Amino acid sequence: MHSRASRVVITVITILLLLILGASYLHLTNGVFDMSVMDVLKTLLRIEPNPKFDLVIFEFRLPRIVIAALVGVGLGMAGVVLQGITRNGLADPGILGINAGAGAAVVIFMFFFQFRVVTADISSWLSILMMPIFGFVGGTMAAALIFSFAMKNGHLDMQRLILTGIAINSGFGALSLFLSLKMNAQDYESAAVWMAGSIYNANWIFVVSMLPWLLLLGFYVYRKSYLLDYFQLEEDSITSLGIALEKEKMKLLLASVGLVSACVSVSGSIGFIGLMAPHIAKQLVGIQHRYVMPVSALIGACLLVLADFIGKTVFAPSELAVGIVVSIIGIPYFLYLLVKSKA
């Protein structure tokens, strides 16, 4: 029985990796100017390097694909954790206000510091590396606020969690908007583009700034994913099994806040990936979370690379922010889930 389940998982993972490769290939070769496979391969393998191709691939397209994939992985995993600990299939970092909290913190950061540090090279590196930390502080603050309102009788009330999440979400959203309107025109533009959830100004510094968080927290939630299986029981049974429920929930929540913040700090608020990826993953590999977790991560990556490719090409030469593309796909999917859960 176990070997069959793991064979399914391996097949699914292989197909997803191929899909991601395929999407990356489309993304690499298409754009403002198209390149052939040979051009791309030659550039990547350093055969007859061509400075023009180098620039396009290494400075523009590749970091963008890597960022899309990493953000997808982060949101996919965070979504699994949040849906697991809230026992609510419609939970998503976006709906819970964690995105908005992290977003507001990053806008505050842009508002107060950004314009001062762009001049010196090293400090601009520093400022970008600081963004995930700011995002994390904001995301944690949002999470702390949501939790302090959602606590009842010393334990988390999941209905209240969702409701306060929605309130916190719009509160922080308003704060971000307010601050961005007070910025100068240039900062405003970059903040607005960033808030819509876009990665087209991705660069390698972003990758460096988020990768450690993603690796660390991703590994942690993967190790803890077995707990999410038990979290499908009702609370009395979980406690009876000897699981320190509130403590484990809190640790997992903080880890997912960290993941989301790292993603938001480089890509802005991208909703629905954390909602869709876990659902699709569960349909593919069942409800064992040690399988759901990696599959959801890969689905997130796949969706985001594809969405970014669509956003880049459909209205070329102008671009659609990837967050908007995801929403266009995500909203009908969300409604579909709602209708299905009613039936």
Partner 1 sequence: MQTAFRMENLSSGYEHVRVFEGLNLTIEEGKVTTIIGPNGCGKSTLLKTIGRILKKQQGIVYLQEQNMQNLSTKEIAKKLAILSQTPIAPGQLKVEELIAYGRYPHRHNVNRLTKKDEKMIEWALTVTNTLEYRSRELAQLSGGQRQRVWLAMALAQETSILLLDEPTTYLDMAHQLEVLDIVKNLNEQHGCTIVMVLHDINHAARYSDHLIAMRQGVVVETGTPQEILCADVMRKVFNISARIMEDPATNTPVCYGYDVLKEADK
Asked if 232 interacts with partner 1 (CB under 8 A), we say yes
Asked if 45 interacts with partner 1 (CB under 8 A), we say no
Nearer to partner 1, 61 or 289 (CB): 289
Alpha helices in 231-272 (DSSP H): 235-240, 245-267
Nearer to partner 1, 17 or 244 (CB): 244
Asked if 239 interacts with partner 1 (CB under 8 A), we say yes
Nearer to partner 1, 5 or 21 (CB): 5
Asked if 3 interacts with partner 1 (CB under 8 A), we say no
In the complex, what is the shortest distance from the CB of residue 301 to partner 1, in angstroms, rounded to a whole number?
24
Site for partner 1 in 146-175 (CB under 8 A): 152-154
Among 133, 151, 177, 233, binds partner 1 (CB under 8 A): 233
Among 11, 50, 186, 237, binds partner 1 (CB under 8 A): 237
Q: Are 135 and 206 in contact (CB under 8 A)?
A: no
Nearer to partner 1, 205 or 243 (CB): 243
In the complex, what is the shortest distance from the CB of residue 257 to partner 1, in angstroms, rounded to a whole number?
24
CA dihedral 201, 136, 103, 75 (to 10 degrees): 70
User: Would you say how long the chain is, in residues?
Assistant: 343
Closest by Cα among 12, 15, 40 to 25:
40
Q: What is the CA radius of gyration of the chain?
A: 20
Token pair 């964690």 in the structure block, residue: 98
Among 125, 188, 230, 333, binds partner 1 (CB under 8 A): 230
Among 229, 313, 324, 337, binds partner 1 (CB under 8 A): 229
Asked if 14 interacts with partner 1 (CB under 8 A), we say no
* b/e code 91-113 from CB counts within 10 Å (16+ = b): bbbbbbbbbbbbbbbbbbbbbeb
Mention every residue, 6+ apart, whose C-beta is less than 8 A from residue 271: 92, 93, 94, 95, 99, 197, 323, 326, 327, 330
In the complex, what is the shortest distance from the CB of residue 15 to partner 1, in angstroms, rounded to a whole number?
22
Question: How far is the C-alpha of 321 from the C-alpha of 190, rounded, in Å?
Answer: 12
What character string, x for contact with partner 1 (CB under 8 A) and - otherwise, covers 259-298? ---------------------------xx--x--------
Q: Is the peptide bond before 317 cis (omega within 30 degrees of 0)?
A: yes
Asked if 7 interacts with partner 1 (CB under 8 A), we say no
One-letter amino acid at 220 equals Y
Number of residues near partner 1 (by CB under 8 A): 22
In the complex, what is the shortest distance from the CB of residue 156 to partner 1, in angstroms, rounded to a whole number?
14
Mention every residue, 6+ apart, whose C-beta is less than 8 A from residue 188: 180, 181
Strand partners, 152: 155
Question: How far is the C-alpha of 247 from the C-alpha of 171, rounded, in Å?
Answer: 28
Chain residues that interact with partner 1, rule: CB under 8 A: 1, 152-154, 226, 229-230, 232-237, 239-244, 286-287, 290
